[in-house]
Amino acid sequence: MIISYVTASAGQNFWSNFFVANRYVSGSIIIIIYIVIATVLAYLLSGYIANIYLGTKTAMDRISGPIVAAFEKMLGEDAKRDMDFREYFSTILVFSLFLGIIGFAVIYFQHYLPFSFSNNHMTPSLIFNTVASFLTNTNLQHYSNPFDLSYFSTTFVITGFMFVSAGIGFAASMAFIRGIISEHGKIGNFYHDFLVSEFYLLLPLSVLLTVILVLSGVPQTMSPYITITPVLSHVSFRLPLGPVATLEAIKNIGTNGGGFYGANAGFPLENPNWFTNLVELEAFMLIPLASILSLGKVFENRRFARMLYGVIMAIFIFTAFLSFFGEMVGVPAITDLGMSFTGNMLGKETAIGISQSTIFSVGATLTSTGAANGALINYTPVGIMGPLLDLLLNDPLGGVGTGVLNIFMYVIFTVFITSLMVGKLPEIMSLKIGSREIRYSTLSLVTHPLLVIIPFGITLLIPNMLSTFVNTRPDQITQLLYEFGTAAANNGSEIGGFLTNQAYFNYLDGVIMLLGRYLLMGFQLLIAQSFSYKKPKVQVMRTVDPGSFMFGFSLFFVMILLGLLSFFPILALGPLLAFAKAFNLFIAGVVL
Amino acid sequence: MNKYLEIVYYTFRDFRPDRLFRNPVMFVTEVAFIVSLVFTIDPASADLPSYFPYSAFYVSTTVMLFLTIFFSNLAEAVSEGKSNAITASLRKMKTNIIAHVKTESGIVDRPSGEVRKGDVVLVYKDEIIPVDGEIISGSCYVNESNITGESRPVMKVQGDSVTGSTRLVTDSAEIRATSDPGESFIDNMIKLIGTATRQRTPNEIALAALLSGLTLVFLVISAVIFPMSTALGVSINIVMLIVLLIALMPTTIGALLPAIGVSAINKISEFNIIAKSGRAVENAGDIDTIILDKTGTVTIGEREAVKFYPNNGIDYGEFVKMCAIASLEDMTKEGISIVNLARKEGISVSQEDLGNHDFIPFSAETKFSGVKTEGHQILKGSLRALKAKLGLSDTFIEALCKEISMRGGTAIPVVRDDRFVGVIELNDLLKPGVKERLESIKSMNIKTIMCTGDDEVTAEYIAREAGIDEYVANVTPMDKYNVVIREKEKQLMVAMVGDGTNDAPALAKADVGLAMNNGTPAAKEAANMVDLDNDPTKLLDVIFIGKQILITRGALTTFSIANDISKYFVIIPAIFFVFPSLAYLNILGLSDPLLAITSALIFNTAIIVVLIPLAIRGVRFVPTTISELLKRNLLIYGLGGVIVPFIFIKIIYVILAVAGVAW
């Protein structure tokens, strides 16, 4: 079963024969290579990120320092004072609201603005959804990208917001870490943090990535659409080119995930070959993973960072291989015909293949990227469980910055429970965890499932809401769960399977995305605020060691038990039922 | 009221929704109980099938939900009953007696309830002391057995505090009342136990927040199954969803949480310690540093004179006499023992021999005491203090003192006028068992600091003998406070024992301050626990209990949450039995869905009863390293919490099936 033979492709070399013949083995090795490269790159960047978190000297001081200083001078007093939670968070909200309104206006009036080659019109609900989506680092795309948006809108709202949302996320994590370190109740200055995130981290890395992508064949132009009439065809179609590489760079570096083209990284111009596939995955894993690893230097506890890395990677490896094997086993209907060696190639780019597709989509939901290089709707029920479980866990590795905030919430619960079990009062980084921190952690813990389940239930209650769905019922449940899961987790990965561009879904998803981002960030920064008054202990090793294997083990189970298990009844009627019935998610109909 | 009737009364009283509201898990359970009661009585109201297997299922569900709340209340009631018994026994001690109050117009007899703070009362032999107070003149033996349980009378001298309702067995004393009616020590203790059991500790509040959050999520997830199954074209029996909700909610810990809280105070009370708040007990579990007094805690404390060493050129008999004279009015235990030893050596002195004299009492600041007669001044006390005071030095005496210190004894040099005349050796022994207790404290990673008025050498000797990490020698009362502050600055949790007025600031500053009942009122006021038996080593028991309470809470929470895995695998396939293809989730192979759901609910209810004793008694706690403890408890309560329900649900199911319950 595991080893399938492809006799036709027999070559001379033993190893190439072996890898072609044993696709489970070669696929697994590819997945492991992806993870190893991600780890190495993240490790290399982690020291730099730690310096940013600690506010110490970095390699970019000479280039980025003057730019940040110039902006701060322009802002005047606002950029100087230390803020407490209330001020910091309200600045984030006001800043986001201000940008949201501008973004809305730009798209609404895009015909009157330059670089508009399109006559397409976006409804207010779709604009709201799009603006909310890109402002919250979600990049759920209910529009069909290159046709609905002008180049100006794409550059300003899409690419611009990608920078802004990732910057806000990273600023929040800077504030969070400062809250833990500081003792005077202040968590830093938002403007400063935001500028530092942009000019020290996001811009340099994006420029680097743009160059790599352009060299690998991704277009970067302001030229209008190309009209192509394929040979032997009497139908011509328009192929939009545009500033693809820049968008692609920040899409991945900023864990955004909204592609230039509707098919996202599955479109050859966004992701031309295996190399860009690797580059893009490593790019979106880079900052979240490096931020986690940097905590070792930040808190002077490398074992803690290693433990977090281990737990997150355990989840990554589990979901990646679940998805990989789910896809490799394939669709019963086709396997039964004796074509077991193919696996489920439906909806996948043949140049990329199953292993690189599954690791890409699982990686995209492990982080809050949500990019896709294949059609998730064609995944088998087991294959889709990989990305879905990560979504329901609220992106275990998180987005730029937000990953640190999310994992800390689970760490706080784990510390709480394990400390009690050894008869100590809970403390993390030598800071006491009181009822206040647990209350805020609980609020942020329940926010995600409630944001998923409540809209899910409401939608099912509304008659005819399921009328645009084309798959069988269990698949519809999976798709609906995925839709709200991706919105609440600010991920942006999509199965689709129904008409998403309806006013109902546009508004509902928009609200979920906003709440999933700002409500959660608010609760998490409140935790930081309450830590910021506490003085750390001098000695640390008198309680449960948060770097130990037992702690990591507990953290893993706390994540599963508190974060994931509550979705079990829905999963039972969704993918688990579809799996049992040998239902499959592939379709005959057309999805808009 | 009869003890059992009282428990039954509390159990049913707590069914009131307004009382249950404090505990969201149980409140939701009660709402579920009422809803399922309605459906049991009138299934048609929700379009539920009312024929046989279902009707029995509704009844059993309703009964189980009732029992869940009942057992939760019972656990709390048993705990509460215990604490009521404690307050009742305290109340019994309060007897109204006649006090002989000294007033300007002579001695007036008044009921003890009318004695105010500051009044001076006279108590004679075999009378009951009417009020809390401080002895201002006289010395006597007092029987405090009704408070401490110790039947041997204790000696009280001027300045000692006495507790109302204890009995004077010898002599007579003049006592100044230190509290107003209704504010006596016992009144306060009764009040404290009452409020301490009601106030929730920060940890309890935190846990309750987590449990409420989980309850909310489970409430929503159970509700969403309804539209989901409708979308799939099947209808789900709402009573099944109620069972799912109750099974998923952390009912085990939710039901037992209040009982654990009350039992903390009770367990402390069993050790004859009155805790002023549950928080103090919890803090005790997390202590990083203990500040101990040498005397009384590490050593027996009744230091006795064992030998006299006269200086060169001083006659032995003369020296012994000088010592006896200097200690004649020194009513400390050391002083009395010196006079006794002198008597044994055949030298006894009396007040008359001295003539006109002034006694110089010992004070913690000067560190010496003595007597001033006509022509002579004899002082005894700490070597360092005497040297400093008189500007003397004597190599022989200093060497002698050092030698005595090095073998753990205490050397008391004696000075007449301006010359060292000799040294008295006092001996003090380590308390039996203290070494082993300190060993187990150490294994819990707790630092011990010993404070002693002795010199460096003695302190080091005792510290090394007993296995103490740090010592502070030659302490003044201020030093103790400074040690507490120093440790607190490192954000460490500090516990200390104290009895004197001087200890009050340090006791108040410490996270856990244990005052001795025979200590001064100020110390008892400042501390957050009072030990009725005056046994400072009980601080270690307090730490154990504190840890036990925390572990019990953590273990039951872990167990409760881990239980959910099995419940999902039992109830979900049973609820969705209409999809036969989901049978692969039914890993226990429970073929009858209604019976499977009922078995899960029975387990859910029964586990509460089984764990009540554990909640009240506390999880067994063996002092060991943190990682060992974590591994052990994760294995028992985490892994056990996953596996145990699978086994028992299957057993319950099989028993029900064998017993012929065929639904």
Q: Which of A107-121, A148-162, A248-262, B628-642 has the lowest mean pLDDT?
A: A107-121
Best-predicted range by mean pLDDT among A32-41, A107-116, A215-224, B229-238?
Answer: A32-41
Distance CA B551, CA A544 (A): 13
Interface list for A 441-500 with B (CB within 8 A):
442-443, 445-446, 449-450, 453-454, 456-457, 460-461, 466, 473-474, 476-477
Phi, psi for residue B111 in degrees, rounded to 5: -65, 145
Residues of B whose CB is below 8 A from A548? 627
For position B607, what pLDDT does the model report?
Answer: 94
Residues of A whose CB is below 8 A from B228? 457, 460, 477, 569-570, 573
Q: Of B200, B207, B217, which to mutate for an interface test with A (greatest number of A Cβ within 10 Å)?
A: B217
Best-predicted range by mean pLDDT among A67-71, B2-6, B486-490?
Answer: A67-71
Tell whether A69 is within 8 A of chain B (Cβ). no
For the stretch A164-189, pLDDT in tens is 999 999 999 999 999 998 888 889 99
For position B93, what pLDDT does the model report?
Answer: 67
For the stretch B533-551, pLDDT in tens is 777 778 888 888 888 889 9
* CB within 8 Å: B227 and A535: no
Residue of A269, A310, A265, A304 lying closest to A283 (CA atoms) = A265
* CB within 8 Å: A453 and B627: no
The CA-based diameter of chain B, rounded to the nearest angstrom, is: 112
Domain for residue A586, yes or no? no
Residues of B whose CB is below 8 A from A385? none
Distance CA A499, CA B140 (A): 94
Q: Residue B570 — very low, low, confident or very high, per pLDDT cuts 50/70/90?
A: very high
Among candidate residues B132, B160, B187, B293, the one labeled active-site is B293
* CB within 8 Å: B491 and A450: no
Helix (H, G, I), strand (E, B) or coil at B367: coil
For position A140, what pLDDT does the model report?
Answer: 87
* CB within 8 Å: B231 and A413: no
* CB within 8 Å: B224 and A567: no
Tell whether A564 is within 8 A of chain B (Cβ). no
Q: Residue A591 — very low, low, confident or very high, per pLDDT cuts 50/70/90?
A: very low
Q: Which two tokens stand for residue A334?
A: 């086709």
Burial B512-530 (b: 16+ CB within 10 A, else e): bbbbbbbbbbbbbebbbbb
Calculate the average pLDDT of chain B: 83
Q: What is the average pLDDT across A546-551? A: 90
Domain for residue A284, yes or no? yes
- The residue that leads in pLDDT, A306 or A118, is A306
Residues of A whose CB is below 8 A from B244? 569
Q: Residue B233 — very low, low, confident or very high, per pLDDT cuts 50/70/90?
A: confident
Strands B133-137 and B173-177: antiparallel
Domain of residue A174 covers 22-577
Q: What is the average pLDDT across A6-14? A: 58
Q: What is the average pLDDT across B167-191? A: 77
Strand partners for B360: B370
Domain count, chain A: 1
Would the pLDDT of A583 be above 60? no
Interface list for B 585-604 with A (CB within 8 A):
585
Distance CA A363, CA A373 (A): 11
Residues 6+ apart with CB under 8 A from B449: B289, B290, B291, B292, B468, B469, B470, B471, B472, B483, B487
Strand partners for B142: B154, B168
Find out whether A137 and A166 touch, Cβ atoms under 8 Å. Answer: yes
Counted across chains A and B, CB pairs separated by less than 8 A come out at 200
Q: What is the average pLDDT across A395-400? A: 91
Give the 3-state secondary structure percentages of chain A, helix then strand then coil, rounded to 5. Answer: 65, 5, 30
When CB atoms are compared, the residue of B210, B244, B630 closest to A442 is B210
Find out whether A125 and A499 touch, Cβ atoms under 8 Å. Answer: no
Distance CA B213, CA A562 (A): 10
Q: Which two tokens stand for residue A91?
A: 């600045």
- Concerning whether B293 is annotated as a catalytic residue, the answer is yes
Distance CA B392, CA B196 (A): 55
When CB atoms are compared, the residue of B213, B283, B490 closest to A445 is B213
Q: Residue B198 — very low, low, confident or very high, per pLDDT cuts 50/70/90?
A: low
* CB within 8 Å: B221 and A569: yes
For position B401, what pLDDT does the model report?
Answer: 84
Would the pLDDT of A471 be above 90? no
Domain for residue A6, yes or no? no
Residues 6+ apart with CB under 8 A from B611: B252, B256, B556, B559
Domain for residue A372, yes or no? yes
Full-model pTM: 0.85
Residues of A whose CB is below 8 A from B568? 565, 568-569
For position A555, what pLDDT does the model report?
Answer: 95
- Edge-to-edge, what's the strand order for the sheet holding B173-177? B106-111, B98-103, B120-123, B173-177, B133-137, B161-162
Taking the CA of residue B12 and the nearest CA in chain A, the distance in Å comes to 30
Domain for residue A327, yes or no? yes
For position B280, what pLDDT does the model report?
Answer: 83
Find out whether A521 and A402 touch, Cβ atoms under 8 Å. Answer: yes
DSSP summary character for residue A498: S
Distance CA B102, CA B174 (A): 9
For position A6, what pLDDT does the model report?
Answer: 47
Distance CA A215, CA A234 (A): 34
For the stretch B642-659, pLDDT in tens is 999 999 999 999 999 888
Would the pLDDT of A349 be above 90? no
Burial A234-250 (b: 16+ CB within 10 A, else e): eeeeeebbbbbbbbbbb
By CA distance, what is B447's nearest residue in A? A542
* CB within 8 Å: A420 and B551: yes
Interface list for B 531-570 with A (CB within 8 A):
546-548, 550-551, 553-555, 557-558, 561-562, 564-565, 568
Q: How large is the angle between the packed helices B316-327 and B333-344, nearest 10 degrees?
A: 150
* CB within 8 Å: A538 and B554: no
Domain for residue A71, yes or no? yes
Q: Of A393, A424, A535, A583, which to mutate for an interface test with B (greatest number of B Cβ within 10 Å)?
A: A424
* CB within 8 Å: B230 and A561: no
For position B261, what pLDDT does the model report?
Answer: 80
- The residue that leads in pLDDT, B373 or A291, is A291
- Rg of the Cα trace of chain A? 23
Would you call B89 exposed, middle or buried from its count of C-beta atoms within 10 A (0-12, 13-18, 19+)? exposed
- The residue that leads in pLDDT, A70 or A226, is A70
Strands (E), B392-443: 410-416, 419-427
Residues of B whose CB is below 8 A from A443? 213
Alpha-carbon dihedral sign for residues A312, A313, A316, A317: negative
* CB within 8 Å: A539 and B227: no
* CB within 8 Å: A438 and B581: no
Tell whether A542 is within 8 A of chain B (Cβ). yes
Residues 6+ apart with CB under 8 A from A477: A570, A573, A574, A577, B228, B231, B232
Alpha-carbon dihedral sign for residues A391, A396, A397, A400: positive
Calculate the average pLDDT of chain A: 86
By CA distance, what is A551's nearest residue in B? B630
Round to the nearest angstrom and report the end-to-end CA distance of chain A. 37
Helix (H, G, I), strand (E, B) or coil at A89: helix
* CB within 8 Å: A422 and B626: yes
Residues 6+ apart with CB under 8 A from A464: none
For position A340, what pLDDT does the model report?
Answer: 62
Q: Which two tokens stand for residue B42?
A: 């009138």
- The residue that leads in pLDDT, A543 or B238, is B238
Q: Residue B192 — very low, low, confident or very high, per pLDDT cuts 50/70/90?
A: low
Domain for residue A1, yes or no? no
Would you call A566 exposed, middle or buried from its count of C-beta atoms within 10 A (0-12, 13-18, 19+)? buried
Percent of chain A topping pLDDT 90: 50
Between vectors from CA B136 to CA B131 and to CA B138, what angle results, nearest 5°?
100
For the stretch A489-509, pLDDT in tens is 999 888 888 888 889 999 999
For the stretch B67-103, pLDDT in tens is 999 999 888 888 877 777 777 777 776 666 778 888 8
- The residue that leads in pLDDT, B575 or B126, is B575
Residues of B whose CB is below 8 A from A417? 554, 557-558
For the stretch B415-435, pLDDT in tens is 888 788 888 888 777 777 778
Would the pLDDT of B639 be above 90? yes
Q: Residue B446 — very low, low, confident or very high, per pLDDT cuts 50/70/90?
A: confident
Domain for residue A585, yes or no? no
Q: Which two tokens stand for residue A175?
A: 């504030």
Q: Of A420, A438, A564, which to mutate for an interface test with B (greatest number of B Cβ within 10 Å)?
A: A420
Q: Residue A588 — very low, low, confident or very high, per pLDDT cuts 50/70/90?
A: very low
CA atoms within 13 A on the CB side of A260: 26
Residues of A whose CB is below 8 A from B493? 425
Would the pLDDT of A128 be above 90? yes
- The residue that leads in pLDDT, B135 or B211, is B211
Taking the CA of residue B454 and the nearest CA in chain A, the distance in Å comes to 29
Q: What is the average pLDDT across A187-211? A: 93
